[in-house]
C-alpha cells in the first residue's frame, strides 16, 4: 500500500459522523460513511501505482473526465488477504480517491463502485471507506450476450460468468453441415471482450439432449429415429464429431472451461429400456467421455444436474476434478436439498435459478425473484460455490426486461446474507429511475400482465385469418377464438411515456429500458391487436345479419364498420392483401342498405357463394363430461379423441335454413394409447358406426367416401359424410363419442349446400 493511501485511510477512520451513500448494487459488505464531501476538480488525475488495469481505467474514464491535474484518483495493488482475489477497498477522502485491491479484477470492481457513487451524487462525492468482496466464486448468467455494451453492463453488476449456447450458431470448418452464421473469429472476439471485462465466457454446446443442431443433419445419431432431441451415445461417429466441435470452440473461447449441457435427454430412458442398458451407467459414461474430450484440450466441463438427480449412480462414473455440476431449480421455495447430493459427493456445484423459466413477454418476478433469492442463499448454506442465473423465455421477451433479475442474482451471489427484496428494490429503482422510484417500480412489474395475451399457437397472418373467417357462408361458428383485450398494455405504455416525460432525469438507464420494454411488448402483441379487431368486425357482421329488428341491424353494422376501420388503420404496409380486403369490405358497408346479402357481409371480399364452409373443430369444440384422458389438439384445426377418455361436441349456427351436407375427414386406429400419446399397432378395417355420432340428439352413422388417403400408414385417414338433410336456422350440436376404436381424430368438418361437392 502506498504511503498516501495509508495516510488517507487513517485520516478517515477518526471521523465518526455518517452521510448517506447513493444506491450501490451489489450492496458493499463493509461501509464507513463520514462527514463531509469531496468536490471533484475535473479533469481528474488518474494515477496507476505500478499496475496495468485497462478495464478499471476505462470505467473511471467513462464516469470522470481524466487526463488532467485535478482530483487524484489512485489505483494500487495492495496485500490484504481478507479481500480475496476479487475484493477491493475504496476510500473517498477530502483530498482524493484511492482504490486498492490484490488483483486487477478487484480494482475493476472498485472502479464500478466508484462509478455508481459518482452517478448517484450531484457533483460532490460523500466521504467514505468501503471494503468489499464476494461471497460466491462464480456469479453469472446464461444468455446470448454478445455486444460489447451488453457485456460491459453484465460486468458492471460484478458478475464474472456468462454461459452462451452456440449450438448450431457457428460455422464449423470441419463440419459445414452444422449450419451457423457466426465465424470462429467472431466468437473468439466476443469471448475476448468478456475477458477484457473480467468475465469468463463459457461456450455451451448441447451434447446429449436438445441436440437438434447435430441430429437434424445426422439422423443416424438419434436415440429415437423420429426425434431430433436426444443423442444416442453408442452411435458410430458421435464422439469423433463432438471432438471436432470441441477442438474448434474451446480454443476460440480462450478459457479452460466448456459446457456440454447434458440436460433433459428425454429419449435416453426409453432407448436404454429397449437396449437392456442401465441409464445411470449410460448417462455417467457419456459425461465421463465428454470430460475426457474437453480435458485433452485443456478444459474442465460444467453440466446441468437434472439427469444426475434422476440417476445419482451416474456420479460414480466421472471425477469431481473433471466436472462441475449446475443444479437448476425454478420453484420459489425456501429450501433446495438437491444441492446436497452433489456437494456431499465432492462436486463443486453452482445453483441455477431463473429470471424467466417460461414467461413469453415479461418475467413473473413475484415468483422468479423469490427463486433467485432463496436458491442462492440456501445454496450458499449447503456449500455451492456459485450461481448461474438462467433465462428460457417462451416468447420474444425484451432483453431489457431481464436486468432486474440479473441484478438481483448479482446481489444474492455477492452477499453472504439472504437478500431483503424490499431494500434491494428501493436501491435498484432509485439507482435506475431517480426520484420516481415507487411509480417506476409499480409500473415495471405490471408488465407481467402482458403474458396472458401471448398466443399459445402462432397468430395467423391477416390474410390467413380473413380466409378462415370467409369460409362461413351457411354456418357461423360459435366459439371462434377471440383475442384478449390489450387495452391494459396500451395503458401501461402510455403510463410509461407520461412518467418518463415528467421524470426529473428522463435519460437515466431505467427510463430508457422501460421505453424499450414498452415498445417491444407492444410490437410483439401487434398480431393480437390486428386479429382482435378483425374478429370483432366479423362478430358484429354476424350480429347484423341475424338481427331481429332494424335498430339492432344498424347498431351491429355500425360497430362492424368501426372495427373494420380500426383494423385497416392497424394493418401494416407489408400486409397489402389484408388491407385491400378490409378496404373492399368497408366500401360495401358504407353503401349498405337492408336487406344485405349475408354472403357479401360474411365473405369479407371473397367470392359471394363459397361452395363449402369449413368449421374449425379446434376452435369450437367442447369436451363432454370429466375425462380420464381429455381430448387434445391435433395440428391447426383437429382434435384427438381417445376411447379411454371421452368425446367432444361441436357447436355451430345455421344462418340460412335449407339442405346441408356435413363432411368430415377422420382418422382412426386400433393402435394403443399409452402415457399420453399414441403407440401405433395395427389397423382396423371395420369403422361404420364407431364414432357414436349425434346431431341434436339424433343418432347418425357415417358413410365412408373414397379410398384411404394413407394406405401405407398404421392409421386410417378417410373422408365420410356424417349427415345430409335439412337444417333449420339457429344453433345445432354435433357430438362424437367413439366406440370400438382405440383412438380417433376429427381432422376437418366441412358444410356444403352443393350436392355435387367432393373433397379434393
CATH number at residue 170: 3.20.20.80
Rg (CA), the chain: 32
Residue 32, CA distances (Å) to 12, 15, 90, 92, 667 in order: 9, 9, 10, 11, 75
Q: Look at the chain and report how many structural domains it folds into.
A: 4
Intervals of the chain under pLDDT 70: 1-19, 463, 466-485, 538, 541-542, 544-548, 573-575, 577-578, 580-581, 584-612, 616, 619-620, 625-630, 635-637, 643-645, 655-656, 669-688, 711-715
Cell triple for 531: 386479429
CATH of the domain at 663: 2.60.120.260
Question: How far apart are the C-alpha atoms of 222 and 227, rounded to whole Å?
Answer: 7
Query: Residue 431: inside a domain, yes or no?
Result: no
Provide the CATH number for the domain around residue 12: 3.30.379.10
Report the C-alpha gap between 5 and 7 in whole angstroms: 6
pLDDT of 723 reads: 92
- Together in a domain, 617 and 604: no
- Give Cα 648 distance to the centre of its chain: 33
Q: What pLDDT is stored for residue 588 in this prediction?
A: 54
Contacts of 553 by beta carbon, 8 Å cutoff, 6+ apart: 544, 547, 594
540 and 573 in a common domain: yes
pLDDT at site 630: 66
Strands 257-261 and 300-304: parallel
271 with 403, same domain? Answer: yes
438, part of any domain: no
Last residue of a domain, one of 608, 639, 666: 608
Q: 402 and 350, same structural domain?
A: yes
Q: Rounded to an integer, what distance in angstroms lies between the CA atom of residue 155 and that of residue 157?
A: 5
Say if residue 277 is in the same domain as residue 399: yes
339 falls within a domain = yes
- State residue 414's pLDDT score: 98
Assigned domain for 178 exists: yes
Q: Are 216 and 229 in contact (CB under 8 A)?
A: no
For residue 184, the enclosing domain spans 138-418
167 & 192 share domain: yes
| Residue 44 near residue 99, CB atoms below 8 Å | no
230 and 119 inside one domain:
no
**pLDDT tens per residue across span 406-419:** 999 999 999 999 99
Q: Is-contact 443 495, C-beta < 8 A?
A: yes
Q: Could you give the dihedral angle defined by the CA atoms of residues 453, 455, 456 and 462, in that order, rounded to the nearest 10 degrees?
A: 170
Within a domain: residue 310? Answer: yes
Separation between Cα atoms, residue 639 and residue 618, nearest integer Å: 6
Q: How far, CA to CA in Å, does 603 sit from each of 469, 472, 539, 636, 643?
A: 8, 8, 13, 22, 38
Q: Coil, strand, or helix at residue 72?
A: strand
Angle between the N-to-C axes of helices 526-546 and 550-570, in degrees from 0 to 180, rounded to the nearest 10: 160
Residues 400, 541 within the same domain: no
- Is 505 part of a structural domain of the chain? no
Q: Are residues 561 and 670 both part of a single domain?
A: no
pLDDT confidence of residue 394:
85
Q: Which of 582, 608, 634 is the last residue of a domain?
A: 608
Residues 545-561, buried b or exposed e (16+ Cβ, 10 A)? bbbeeeeebeebbebbb
Would you tell me how many other CB atoms lie within 10 Å of the CB of residue 419? 22
Question: Are 22 and 95 part of one and the same domain?
Answer: yes
Residue 15 confidence (pLDDT): 35
Domain annotation covers residue 457: no
Structure-block grid coordinates of residue 94: 477530502
Which of 103, 132, 161 terminates a domain? The answer is 132
- Alpha helix segments (H runs only) across 25-182: 54-63, 104-120, 148-156
Closest CA to 230 of 269, 273, 275, 279: 269
Domain match, 74 and 126 both = yes
Residues 87 and 158 in one domain: no
Task: Return all residues near 534 (Cβ < 8 A) that are at least 6 apart.
Answer: 462, 465, 466, 469, 563, 564, 567, 582
Is 440 buried (19+), middle (13-18) or exposed (0-12) by CB count in 10 A?
buried
Angstrom distance (rounded) from CA 68 to CA 59: 16
Closest alpha carbon to 606 in 425, 447, 466, 456? 466
Enumerate residues 6+ apart whose C-beta is below 8 A from 643: 673, 738, 739, 740, 741, 742, 743, 744
Amino acid at each position: 500500500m502506498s504511503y498516501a493511501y495509508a495516510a488517507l485511510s487513517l485520516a478517515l477512520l477518526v471521523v465518526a459522523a455518517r452521510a448517506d451513500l447513493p444506491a450501490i448494487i451489489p450492496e458493499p459488505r463493509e461501509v464507513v460513511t463520514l462527514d463531509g464531501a469531496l468536490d471533484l476538480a475535473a479533469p481528474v488525475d488518474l494515477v496507476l501505482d505500478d499496475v496495468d488495469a485497462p478495464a478499471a481505467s476505462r470505467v473511471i474514464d467513462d464516469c470522470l473526465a481524466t487526463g488532467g491535474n485535478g482530483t487524484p484518483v489512485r489505483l494500487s495493488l495492495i496485500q490484504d488477504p481478507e479481500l480475496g482475489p476479487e475484493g477491493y477497498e475504496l476510500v473517498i477522502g477530502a483530498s482524493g480517491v484511492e482504490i486498492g485491491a490484490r488483483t486487477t479484477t478487484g480494482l475493476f470492481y472498485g472502479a464500478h463502485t466508484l462509478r455508481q457513487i459518482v452517478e448517484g451524487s450531484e457533483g460532490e462525492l460523500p466521504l467514505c471507506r468501503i471494503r468489499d468482496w464476494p461471497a460466491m466464486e462464480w456469479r453469472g448468467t446464461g444468455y446470448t450476450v454478445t455486444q460489447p455494451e451488453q457485456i460491459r453492463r453484465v460486468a458492471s453488476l460484478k458478475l464474472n460468468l456468462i454461459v452462451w449456447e452456440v449450438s448450431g450458431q457457428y460455422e464449423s470448418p470441419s463440419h459445414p453441415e452444422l449450419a451457423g452464421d457466426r465465424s470462429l473469429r467472431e466468437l473468439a472476439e466476443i469471448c475476448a471482450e468478456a475477458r477484457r471485462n473480467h468475465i469468463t465466457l463459457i461456450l455451451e454446446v448441447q451434447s446429449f439432449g436438445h441436440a437438434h443442431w447435430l441430429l437434424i443433419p445426422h439422423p443416424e445419431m438419434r436415440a429415437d429415429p423420429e426425434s431430433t432431441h436426444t443423442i444416442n451415445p453408442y452411435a458410430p461417429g458421435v464422439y469423433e464429431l463432438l471432438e471436432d466441435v470441441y477442438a474448434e470452440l474451446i480454443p476460440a473461447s480462450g478459457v479452460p472451461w466448456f459446457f456440454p449441457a447434458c440436460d433433459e435427454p428425454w429419449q435416453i430412458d426409453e432407448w436404454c429400456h429397449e437396449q437392456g442398458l442401465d441409464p445411470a451407467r449410460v448417462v455417467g459414461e457419456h459425461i465421463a467421455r465428454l470430460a475426457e474430450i474437453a480435458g485433452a484440450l485443456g478444459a474442465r466441463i460444467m453440466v446441468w444436474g437434472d439427469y444426475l438427480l434422476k440417476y445419482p449412480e451416474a456420479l460414480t462414473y466421472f471425477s469431481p476434478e473433471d466436472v462441475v455440476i449446475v443444479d437448476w431449480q425454478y420453484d420459489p421455495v425456501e429450501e433446495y436439498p438437491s444441492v446436497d447430493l452433489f456437494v456431499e459427493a465432492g462436486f463443486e456445484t453452482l445453483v441455477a435459478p431463473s429470471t424467466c423459466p417460461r414467461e413469453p413477454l415479461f418475467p413473473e418476478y413475484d415468483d422468479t425473484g423469490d427463486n433467485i433469492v432463496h436458491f442462492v442463499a440456501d445454496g450458499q448454506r449447503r456449500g455451492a460455490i456459485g450461481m448461474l442465473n438462467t433465462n428460457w423465455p417462451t416468447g420474444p421477451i425484451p432483453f431489457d426486461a431481464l436486468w432486474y433479475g440479473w441484478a438481483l442474482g448479482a446481489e444474492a451471489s455477492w452477499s453472504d446474507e439472504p437478500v431483503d427484496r424490499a431494500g434491494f428494490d428501493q436501491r435498484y429503482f432509485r439507482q435506475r429511475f431517480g426520484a420516481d422510484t415507487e411509480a417506476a417500480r409499480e409500473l415495471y412489474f405490471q408488465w407481467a400482465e402482458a403474458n396472458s395475451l401471448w398466443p399459445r399457437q402462432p397468430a395467423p397472418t391477416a390474410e390467413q385469418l380473413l380466409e378462415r373467417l370467409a369460409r362461413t357462408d351457411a354456418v357461423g361458428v360459435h366459439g371462434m377464438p377471440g383475442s384478449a383485450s390489450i387495452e391494459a398494455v396500451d395503458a401501461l405504455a402510455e403510463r410509461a411515456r407520461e412518467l418518463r416525460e415528467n421524470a426529473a432525469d428522463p435519460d437515466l438507464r431505467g427510463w430508457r429500458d422501460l421505453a424499450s420494454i414498452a415498445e417491444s411488448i407492444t410490437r410483439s402483441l401487434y398480431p393480437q391487436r390486428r386479429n382482435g379487431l378483425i374478429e370483432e368486425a366479423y362478430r358484429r357482421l354476424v350480429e347484423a345479419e341475424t338481427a331481429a329488428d332494424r335498430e339492432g341491424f344498424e347498431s351491429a353494422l355500425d360497430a362492424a364498420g368501426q372495427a373494420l376501420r380500426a383494423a385497416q388503420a392497424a394493418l401494416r404496409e407489408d400486409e397489402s392483401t389484408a388491407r385491400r380486403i378490409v378496404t373492399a369490405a368497408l366500401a360495401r358497408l358504407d353503401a349498405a342498405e337492408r336487406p344485405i346479402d349475408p354472403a357479401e357481409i360474411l365473405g369479407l371480399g371473397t367470392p359471394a357463394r363459397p361452395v363449402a364452409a369449413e368449421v374449425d373443430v379446434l376452435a369450437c369444440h367442447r369436451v363432454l363430461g370429466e375425462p380420464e384422458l381429455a381430448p387434445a389438439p391435433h395440428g391447426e384445426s383437429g382434435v384427438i379423441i381417445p376411447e379411454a377418455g371421452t368425446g367432444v361436441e361441436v357447436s355451430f349456427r345455421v344462418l340460412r335454413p335449407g339442405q346441408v351436407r356435413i363432411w368430415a375427414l377422420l382418422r382412426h386406429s386400433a393402435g394403443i394409447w399409452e402415457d399420453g400419446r399414441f403407440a401405433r399397432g395395427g389397423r382396423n378395417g371395420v369403422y361404420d358406426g364407431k364414432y357414436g355420432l349425434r346431431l341434436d340428439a339424433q343418432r347418425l352413422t357415417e358413410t365412408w367416401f373414397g379410398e384411404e388417403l394413407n394406405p401405407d400408414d398404421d392409421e386410417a385417414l378417410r373422408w365420410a359424410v356424417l349427415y345430409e338433410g335439412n337444417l333449420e336456422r339457429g344453433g345445432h350440436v354435433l357430438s362424437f363419442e367413439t366406440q370400438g376404436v382405440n383412438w380417433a381424430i376429427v381432422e376437418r368438418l366441412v358444410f356444403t349446400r352443393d350436392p355435387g361437392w367432393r373433397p379434393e
